[in-house]
Amino acid sequence: MKYVLDSSCFINMSSLDFEECEAYTTPEVVKELKDFKSKALFNIINPEIREPRKEYVEIVKKKARITGDLNVLSKTDISVVALGIEIEGVVVSDDFDIQNICEELRIDWQSVSGMKIKKSFKREKYCQACGKKFSNDYVLNKCNVCGHKLKHRVVKTKKINKKE
């Protein structure tokens, strides 16, 4: 089994559960590891560092644009999920937004420390002042009716049937 580890793995992991398996990560994750503990864990696990191919990054971005997750997912988050698709691995992350986009993309995922979403969610773009709703691919951040800044809110949740 292949695993793609995000930054939270090296920060939150207490045991070395992933030592014996095929572990991968992206250059973006490596850049995020700053403290001694996460760097030490990284050296022990010694994952293969791989940049996901562009077409897989695009798949993730396209989906995130629809679900409204695009502006909460960092470049690092997107790289981890994209690599997960490319190598058909399990994405390991404690980040709820990563878990959610994996769920949407039907990618197998796992939490590091047991922190995980029970429901997948969708975000909606809306105007706080006049209440107008916008589709998530609406590019501007201003309401075209009243000019106020747009916000995101969670609108739909779906229960996840996940085996423990």
Query: Is the Cβ of residue 72 or residue 129 nearer to Zn ion in the bound state?
Result: 129
Minimum separation from the CB atom of position 133 to Zn ion (A)? 10
- Cβ partners under 8 Å of residue 11, min gap 6: 33, 35, 37, 38
150: contact with Zn ion by CB under 5 A:
no
124: contact with Zn ion by CB under 5 A:
no
| Separation between Cα atoms, residue 107 and residue 86, nearest integer Å | 11
Minimum separation from the CB atom of position 135 to Zn ion (A)? 15
Task: Pick the piece of the chain touching Zn ion (CB under 5 A) from 24-32, 45-53, 56-64, 124-132.
Answer: 124-132
138: contact with Zn ion by CB under 5 A:
no
Query: Is the Cβ of residue 145 or residue 154 nearer to Zn ion in the bound state?
Result: 145
The residue type found at 7 is S
Torsional class of 31: left (φ above 0), alpha (ψ -120 to 50), beta (otherwise): alpha
| φ/ψ of residue 89, rounded to 5 | -105, 175
Which of 16, 66, 115, 145 touches Zn ion (CB under 5 A)?
145
Encoding tokens for residue 56? 């897989």
CB 64 within 8 A of CB 122: no
130: contact with Zn ion by CB under 5 A:
yes
How would you list the strands of the sheet with 133-134, edge to edge?
133-134, 119-127, 150-159
Minimum separation from the CB atom of position 125 to Zn ion (A)? 11
Judged by the rule CB under 5 A, the positions of this chain that interact with Zn ion are 127, 129-130, 132, 143, 145-146, 148
